[in-house]
Amino acid sequence: MTVVPPSSGEPRRPQGPRNPGDAWVVAESGEKYWGRFGAAGLLAVDPDRGILLQHRVSWSHFGGTWGLPGGALHEGEAAIVGAIREAQEEAGVPDGAVRARFTSVLDLGIWSYTTVVADVLAPFDPVISDPESVALEWVALDEVASRPLHPGFGAAWPALREQLDVHPVVVVDAANVVGSVPDGWWKDRAGAAARLRSRLEGLSIPADELGLAGDAWFPQISLVVEGRARAIDDGVAAPSPVLVVRAEGEGDDAIVDDVARWVSSGRPVLAVTSDRALQQRVERAGASRVRPSGWLLELLDGGRRERG
């Protein structure tokens, strides 16, 4: 697990009412960690410009070093939400500009810190919007280690850097998954496929299920549809993590071809189908892992469904 250290989001100088989360957590050893409900930071990755780093103001903890925009979470706030909120407050990250790819969590029992690694969807220039930053810069990946980094971020960076080149893909046999749920799919195949696509847009997969480091991943989804399900609508206009692949012929052949296409591009692929013969075919095509439809539905249901 890649970890990010304590104190990477420190207290701001008072500016109005404090949030209950803006407080120290003190360990029995006397060490202090900022964020009563934990903390989170955003590692935004731009394919052309590198990662967004914050040059910390001198009066902050480890002032003068470079780290990630981030800070204390609010009570009940999801780490991804908190990391992006903090990055918006500290660096002016626009709404919808990034999409989470994976998270990495340091859990000390009394306190936790989550690094949210996110891909930039719409390029933006950061803006210093609070007193915590001396500068905000996009730094090329090969140049990050040459900066005077926050000690904890510096220790975590090599492992994080390795994961930045990883872009997993999940290829889903839509007919197999949809057919395992009695929701009227036989009357409206395209509608059932669209409902599945909507649910897949927020899919989070534990890192160990993908054989990757970190805590949870939000992979590219390739949803292969066939027959009447090919009439599925095009969905939202904004970039979506779910790519619909319409099979021109046999659905199984399209799934195998899609797996092979992603594998040839160097992407690790997990395929989802309960069809035993198809499972063997996608393994031969290079899928690193294969899971049944019940596994996917359990993830989508938050673990309430029995594994299939």
pLDDT digit string, tens, across residues 155-200: 889 999 999 999 999 999 999 999 888 777 878 999 999 999 999 9
pLDDT category at 306 given cuts 50, 70, 90 is very low
What are the phi and psi torsion angles at 83 (to 5°)?
-65, -45
> pLDDT averaged over the chain?
89
CB 53 within 8 A of CB 145: no
Whole-number percent of the chain with pLDDT over 90? 72
User: What φ, ψ does residue 251 adopt, rounded to 5°?
Assistant: -60, -40
* DSSP state letter for 159: H
Q: pLDDT tens digits for 33-46?
A: 878 999 999 999 99
What residues are paired with 291 via a beta bridge? Answer: 272
Question: Between 3.40.30.10, 3.40.50.300, 3.90.79.10, 3.30.479.30, what CATH number should domain 24-163 receive?
Answer: 3.90.79.10
Instruction: Name the token pair of 81.
Output: 């939400």
Q: Where are the domains of the chain?
A: 24-163, 169-300
CATH code reported for the domain at 169-300: 3.40.50
